[in-house]
Amino acid sequence: MAKRALITGIAGQDGGHLAKLLHEKGYEVYGVIRGQLESSHPRYQQTQNEMPYVKLVLADLLDLAALTRAMQEIKPDEVYNLAAISHVGYSFKDPIMTADVTGKGVLNVLEAIRLAGLEKTTKFYQASTSEMFGGLDYNRPEKGYTEESSFHPRSPYGVAKLYGFWITKNYRENYGMFAVSGILFNHEGERRGPEFVTRKISQAVARIKLGKQDRLELGNMDAKRDWGYAGDYVEGMWRIMQQDKPDDYVLATGETHSIREFCELAFKETGVDIEWQGTGVKETGVDKKTGKVLISINPDFFRPSEVDLLLGDPTRAEKELGWERQVDFPGLVKLMVEHDLKEEASKA
Ligand code: NAP
Ligand code: F7E
């Protein structure tokens, strides 16, 4: 009999990649989608058209009754909890909802599994994050954060995720559940939401190339991130769930790059060389050939506190899971810009 997987956050970036992977591996895939959606609703239809092999289940992460019903009916072998308010900047604006969904929502899913009497048979994956480390100098190992590093979250999102991480570990220890976290560093791609910086850049580069946009406005360009490809990371999630012993793993590339570097490579894909001029909020990215300003700073995108540098050390995942990223940093930028050039060109 085919294994059954239930994915929360099915309509998000990782949900789509993971659903495809599990379907290809022969799983029966169920996906939790929120809201009062009916099969005639455009958003429901869009998700269903994109993933015809997924059986959509209506539930909200705040709704324990709906989650419990879903567990009782589906009896999944594996639950992947990907749903969250996942935008770090937004979490400063709505910290209460972030705590409820991104933090307590994890507990709801774990309790739903227990209330359905499935804690001994259903495996649980929690989408934990490098944002829990915080990026400050004092706890940052030279070769990158590992599974042993200490946490110092710097946003309401990071704090909520830390609750999710610990409650997952707690259920593993309390009830002997196979409940694990993947501590994933940033992963991007053609399914990334446009509110995240990499997709904002790749879409802007495509639109500027096609004459649909003049300029790209960004916040802190000094920040550095360990960026991988989402398609590679969902393979890691699955491998974490196939281990004999439940444990937490870091998935990362072991490289870190600045927002500036991402911009330079992305514009280069369309034949534009960027030259940086000025400093601070007056800094601009200029087309070397034409002198036109293509990038400028908008302080509205600054955050009350910033994670300056994230770098992960994937050694343990590489050794124990045999996991390795396939797409490198230039490959990721290229893939995103090429995708957005096609997508923008196809729009009216
Ligand atoms: P994403 O694109 O923002 O997707 C999150 C999904 O959660 C969305 O589909 C959203 O639904 C759903 N959601 C939000 N609130 C919900 C609620 N109350 N009930 C049910 N569903 C709800 O995030 P992602 O990039 O795929 O990331 C997947 C998970 O990994 C998230 O938990 C994220 O925090 C975590 N993570 C991501 C990264 C990364 O670099 N991408 C790194 C580490 C950890 P709607 O579609 O209806 O809005
Ligand atoms: O920001 C800077 C911003 O929003 C990256 C989520 O998936 O990864 C993601 O969180 C950096 C930050 O991602 C803009 O200040 C500059 O330093 O793309 P982001 P994130 O905050 O790293 C982690 C691992 C997760 O777990 C999260 O769920 O880019 N930045 N200018 C900007 N960021 C945005 N969004 N927009 C700008 O205009």
Q: Answer whether residue 77 shows pLDDT above 80.
A: yes
Task: Determine the distance separating the centroid of ligand 2 and the alpha carbon of 197, expressed in angstroms.
Answer: 6
Task: Report the C-alpha gap between 262 and 125 in whole angstroms.
Answer: 30
Instruction: Check residue 35 and give its pLDDT.
Output: 73
Task: Please compute the mean of the pLDDT values over residues 120-125 and round it to a whole number.
Answer: 98
Higher pLDDT, 44 or 35: 44
129 catalytic per annotation: yes
Q: What is the pTM of this model?
A: 0.98
Query: What letter does residue 282 receive in the DSSP assignment?
Result: G
Q: What is the pLDDT of residues 234-283, one digit of tens each?
A: 999 999 999 999 999 999 999 999 999 999 999 999 999 999 999 999 99
Q: Which residue has the tokens 């227990």?
A: 114
Task: Report the C-alpha gap between 78 and 109 in whole angstroms.
Answer: 12
Q: Quick one: which ligand is closest to 87's CA?
A: 2
Are residues 70 and 32 in contact, defined by beta-carbon separation less than 8 angstroms? yes
Which residues surround ligand 2 with Cβ inside 6 Å?
A: 86, 88-89, 129-131, 185-186, 195-197, 200, 218-220, 223, 225, 259, 301, 303, 306
131 catalytic per annotation: yes
Q: What is the pLDDT of residues 80-121, one digit of tens each?
A: 999 999 999 999 999 999 999 999 999 999 999 999 999 999
The percentage of residues in the chain with a pLDDT greater than 90, rounded to a whole number, is 93
Q: What is the pLDDT of residues 128-163, one digit of tens each?
A: 999 999 998 888 888 999 999 999 999 999 999 999
Question: Quick check: CB of 9 below 6 Å from ligand 1?
Answer: yes
Structure tokens at 230: 């989402």
Task: Report the C-alpha gap between 308 and 96 in whole angstroms.
Answer: 24
Instruction: Check residue 37 and give its pLDDT.
Output: 65
Bridge partner list, 182: 127, 249
Task: Determine the distance separating the centroid of ligand 1 and the alpha carbon of 160, expressed in angstroms.
Answer: 13
Q: What is the pLDDT of residues 205-222, one digit of tens each?
A: 999 999 999 999 999 999
Q: Which residues contact 143 (CB under 8 A, 6 or more apart)?
A: 254, 311, 313
Task: Determine the distance separating the centroid of ligand 1 and the alpha carbon of 209, expressed in angstroms.
Answer: 30
Q: What is the pLDDT of residues 13-22, one digit of tens each?
A: 999 999 999 9
Q: Are strands 123-129 and 78-81 parallel, antiparallel or unpaired?
A: parallel
